Amino acid sequence: MDKNILIDSDFPSIGDSMVSPIKIKKIRFFYFFIIFVVTIVIGRLVWLQIIKGSEYRNISEGNRTRIERIKAIRGLIYDSSGRPLVKNIARFSLLIVPQDLPAEEKSRDKIFRDFLAKTETINKDVGDKLREQAESARAKIDLTSFQPIIIAKNLDYQTALRLRLITNNLPGFSIGIRAQRNYLYGPMLSHILGYVAPVSKQELLEHPEYSPIDLIGRTGLELYYEEELKGKDGQKKIEVNALGRAEKIVSQTIPVHGQDIILTIDLDLQKYVYKILKKYIKLANSHAGTIIVSNPSNGEILSMVSYPSYDNNIFIQNNDSEYKKLSQDPDKPFIFRALVGEYPPGSIIKPLLAIAGLSEGIITPQTNIFSDGGIRIGQWFFPDWKRGGHGNTDVIKALAESVNTFFYYLGGGFKDFKGLGPQKIREYLSAFGLTKKTGIDLPGEKSGFIATPEWKKNHKNEPWYIGDTYHLSIGQGDILVTPLQVACYTMALANNGTLFVPRIVKKFQDPADGAIKNKPLQIVDKDLFNAEYFKLIKKGMREAVLRGSARQLNDLSVKVAGKTGTAQLGGDKTPHAWFIGFAPYDNPKIALTILIENGGEGSAIAIPAAKEIFSFLFAKDK
């Protein structure tokens, strides 16, 4: 047979081929290994694409898109005639956005080196400060944060422009713009307007709607109406390049700008009252005081000045040395005395005691009390201010001449004459708003204080004496009022018994469409007591001008009614000088409250100041 032809015997049998077989268990191991690997891969894909897919898509999107705030413009504040009291000025900040910086440390170092080198061309003082702040910011960088780090703020336009050019090709650096507040009349209005200041770290945690370069109201109207003035920021979604620079706006929400506020304050009057207050504080060799001019027909505050004052622009200018100087001033210029100051009222409280006595039937218009110079109780003598007394005195004469003896009888009684007593005195004074905050739309107001027998027992561990009631009856002893409380009850006297919540904001205006929203009038009590009693008390206050302690006002072109007060402080301290009044007498349009701390006699220092203000007001009215 041809040996090239193969026959079956030339091939090994199947049985022979299994002499060295692949073990079955190895095949199984390989099979399960493949399944395990595929399962891991599939699981990872599920984790990345489904479970964490949204998060990673957002991160990916965030690398090329950015949400940026569009700042709402802070509302302006105007006087009653629409004259601006503040304005917004563009100011610039140099910022670093950490997530726009390279992840590699060497690349970041190069960017900072380039920045530091380029700032050598800027003014030395500015450049040195920028470099120092940049190095400080570098140590705080968190590469996962889009929250900008402020390197420098309140930059002028020229410096900001140069920095924009310097940082144009440096990833992470940007120029931010914000509106800086400028207060146009400084100390004349600082207590009313207050001021804004940069948002603190704690506030950023509490209010995520603010950004690190935002300002927030700290005092005054800026604080009280922060929500209305701030507005609501918009936002835009932008595509950015590798340097973090905007390439395209994807979408945006328009900001809602802050509301403008129109005040009841008359700027011309505020300027004049500020000048008069300074003048008479100096003449009295005093250090502080306050004047409030109001409208008794609606509770509007037309002027409210507290002195000493301060320039609220120092908080915008970061003038630390000036702030330190003011904060250490013993005259405390940051205190808004009209709202926060608490003082013994002295004789300006007497009209309220007279209304209380008439309402309780303790006195009538015909009641006469003989004043022979004072009242003696045992070893204690409670004097009139006039040696020898005032003779027979009815309620009109008691107010005109400020007769202490009449009010000793009225408040505490004497012999068979029953007085009001401390509880009734407090009840009636509280009805006129004393011991309570007035509710004005300004922060920080105090509520004053009137003692009671219970308070004295608990706090001084002493009984209440008749002398305490006598002192309370003439506005002395343990009684404190704020000038604003006094202004409110002076308006109530002028308008025959309507007690208003005083207001300093008249209306709000939408800057977008000019829509006006009036601030509603608020009345605490419309008919406090019998209108006839108010008319009688007003007659007594008019008599004070015609023949009493306020007679210097009698030669004015307008009829004025008023009451002076000299609040004793004890020891050798000079008393506070008070005046309350209103005009015209027959139809009051103006109520006036004056306090000169340690000014002496009200008739000597507060009356001349009142005369100048009434002259200004009614000369202007003509």
Q: What is the DSSP string of 342-389?
A: -B--GGGGHHHHHHHHHHHTS--TT--EEESSEEEETTEEEE-SSTT-
The answer to whether the beta carbons of residues 152 and 83 sit under 8 Å apart is no
Helix, strand, coil percentages in the chain from 3-state DSSP, rounded to 5: 40, 25, 35
| Residue corresponding to tokens 């694409």 | 49
**Residue ranges of the chain whose pLDDT lies below 70:** 1-26, 28-29, 44-64, 123-127, 143-146, 242-247, 620-622
- Please give the Cα distance from 80 to 293 (Å, whole number): 14
Burial class (CB in 10 A: 0-12, 13-18, 19+), 50: exposed
Please spell the DSSP secondary structure of 292-338, one letter per residue: EEEETTTTEEEEEEEES---GGGGTTT-HHHHHHHHT-TT-TT--HH
pLDDT for position 244: 62
pLDDT for position 601: 92
CA triple 140-236-241, angle to 5 deg: 60
Closest CA to 503 of 299, 267, 295: 299
Our measurement of the distance from residue 497's CA atom to the centroid of its chain's CA atoms, rounded to an integer in Å, reads 30
pLDDT for position 19: 45
Express each pLDDT in 58-103 by its tens digit.
444 445 677 777 889 999 999 999 999 999 988 888 888 887 788 7
Rg (CA), the chain: 39
Please spell the DSSP secondary structure of 399-417, one letter per residue: HHTT-HHHHHHHHH-BTTB
Residue 442 identity: L
Angle separating helix axes 404-412 and 350-360, nearest 10 degrees = 50
pLDDT for position 112: 82
Q: For residue 124, what are the contacts with CB-CB under 8 A and spacing of at least 6?
A: none
- Please give the Cα distance from 219 to 207 (Å, whole number): 18
The answer to whether the beta carbons of residues 609 and 277 sit under 8 Å apart is yes
Partnered with residue 517 across adjacent β-strands are 508
Q: Which stretch of DSSP H or E encloses residue 174?
A: strand 173-183
Residue 606 identity: A
- Please give the Cα distance from 294 to 487 (Å, whole number): 7
- Please give the Cα distance from 552 to 618 (Å, whole number): 16
- Please give the Cα distance from 144 to 147 (Å, whole number): 9
pLDDT for position 145: 65
Domains with residue ranges and CATH for the chain: 72-236+248-263 (3.90.1310.10), 267-325+342-621 (3.40.710.10)
Q: Which stretch of DSSP H or E encloses residue 130?
A: helix 124-138
Express each pLDDT in 408-443 by its tens digit.
999 999 999 999 999 999 999 999 999 999 999 999
- The two beta strands, 505-509 and 260-263, are antiparallel
- Please give the Cα distance from 138 to 121 (Å, whole number): 21
